[in-house]
Amino acid sequence: MKKQESPVGVKEIARRANVSIGTVDRVLNNRTGVSASTKEKILEIIKELDYQPNVIARRLASKKVLRIASLIPSSSRETGYWEAPLNGIKQAADEIRAFGVVVDHYFFNQNDKKTFTKKAKEILRTDYDGVLLAPMFEQEAQAFVAKCAEKQIPYVLINSDLKDSDRVCYIGPDLHKSGYLAAHLTKYLLPPQSAVLIVNISREMDQHHHLLVKEEGFRAYFKNHHADVNIVKTDIREPDYESIQAELKKLFRKHQFDVVFVSNSRVFTVARYFEEQKISGIKLIGYDFLPENIAYLQKNVIDFLICQKPQEQGYKGITSLYQHLVLQTAIEKEQFMPIDIITAENYQYYRN
């Protein structure tokens, strides 16, 4: 019986190229210190032999620990939305720890852009191999990823994207289409010559571009369909319930609305106002699969929740960095999450 040939390895490549194993390793890992002619010769031999390096074995044999920083908003009393992405990040971190990859967690206050800048600087002062980022504050996030690019730190974006950024990938909703879908849903709930209220709740409104992109999508639907709808918007810059209550009371004195669309996960605060004021006959649409939102969905105060799998965003963000850094595989640049519509009838079957 003919003896089966053993797989081609680094030693055989080094022998054929008449170089050291270290030189071959530098070429395989795209490091400097190899002349152009030698590098070309080694690459030709690799191609000729169809060499496929066992990157997992190399990673396990390596003494180097790869470090990833995740930078996302902290959960707060106002909304627990960011618990879901954090759970996904932790799940992925547990799975890749055995391969010498460690994930460090950094958090910022989504109502204070200074906390984002502070944490971003801490990350840049540390020698990280990759970054997972939720770019809530557009201007500050652009400055941060520009520094990452200078330091050749690959980064993945979740929840909202940054135009023209050199990210490994974006994982999250198509924000414009998300707002567009909300408007399409709204259309079926509206009588002729009706009024809709858009509620944006955020202290840093001008910086929270993900809210504004949803609003653009919402308005675009009615513009494209020439609908006779009066759209009123309010930007509530203090996210505490007393401020939200005062603004809603003022608006409901002036206008009669048929639908209220809340552009983020704080829809439960508007639902609370509806319940306290015994408001009925107005449809309420908002975002995210949170316990406080589900409670009002069960009571039919919230009619529809639009959900975009935040836990999966965190999980995929870390695993995409792992694939890029360790497996060196090509990553799909845009990984859009499904835009799910949750009601009182189907919420029991939904998973973030």
Query: Which of 90-99, 122-131, 244-253 is least confident?
Result: 90-99
**Rounded Cα distance, 245 and 240, in Å:** 9
Q: What is the CATH number of the domain that holds 268?
A: 3.40.50.2300
Residue 121: burial class (beta carbons within 10 Å; 0-12, 13-18, 19+) = exposed
DSSP per position, 278-303: T--S-EEEEE---HHHHHHHHTTSS-
**Rounded Cα distance, 249 and 316, in Å:** 41
Q: Are residues 262 and 184 in the same domain?
A: yes
Q: What is the pLDDT of residue 38?
A: 92
Q: Are residues 242 and 290 in the same domain?
A: yes
Q: What is the pLDDT of residue 337?
A: 96
Contact (CB, 8 A) for 34 and 23: yes
The whole domain housing 45 covers 10-53
- Between residues 276 and 59, the one the model is more confident about: 276
In a domain, 344, yes or no: no
Q: Are residues 209 and 146 in the same domain?
A: no
Q: Are residues 180 and 303 in the same domain?
A: yes
Q: What is the pLDDT of residue 322?
A: 92
Q: What is the CATH number of the domain that holds 32?
A: 1.10.260.40
pTM for this predicted structure: 0.80
The string of pLDDT tens digits covering residues 18-52 is 988 878 878 877 677 889 899 889 888 888 877 76
Residue 1 has pLDDT above 50, yes or no: no
CA 170 to chain CA centroid, nearest Å: 7
Alpha helices (H) in the chain, listed in sequence order: 10-17, 21-28, 36-49, 55-61, 83-96, 113-124, 138-150, 175-187, 209-224, 241-254, 267-277, 291-298, 310-322
Give the number of domains in the chain: 3
> What is the arithmetic mean of pLDDT over 80-97?
94
Site of tokens 């890992």? 29
Residue 58 has pLDDT above 50, yes or no: yes
Distances (CA, A) of 205 to 143, 211, 238: 19, 8, 10
In a domain, 5, yes or no: no
The string of pLDDT tens digits covering residues 139-168 is 999 999 999 999 999 999 999 999 889 999
Q: Are residues 315 and 168 in the same domain?
A: yes
Contact (CB, 8 A) for 7 and 43: no
Tokens of 123: 């990350």
DSSP per position, 122-176: HHHTS--SEEEE---BHHHHHHHHHHHHHTT--EEEESS--TT---SEEEE--HH
In a domain, 59, yes or no: no
Residue 290 has pLDDT above 50, yes or no: yes
Contact (CB, 8 A) for 233 and 198: yes
In a domain, 35, yes or no: yes
The string of pLDDT tens digits covering residues 159-218 is 999 988 999 999 999 999 999 999 999 999 998 889 999 999 988 765 567 888 999 999
The angle, 0 to 180 degrees and rounded to 10, between the axes of the packed helices 241-254 and 267-277 is: 60
In a domain, 293, yes or no: yes
Distances (CA, A) of 22 to 57, 158, 288, 325: 17, 38, 51, 20
Q: Are residues 300 and 321 in the same domain?
A: no
In a domain, 21, yes or no: yes
Length of the chain in terms of residues written: 352
Give the number of other CB atoms < 10 A from CB of residue 167. Answer: 22
Give the number of other CB atoms < 10 A from CB of residue 7. Answer: 10
The string of pLDDT tens digits covering residues 262-287 is 999 999 999 999 999 999 999 999 99
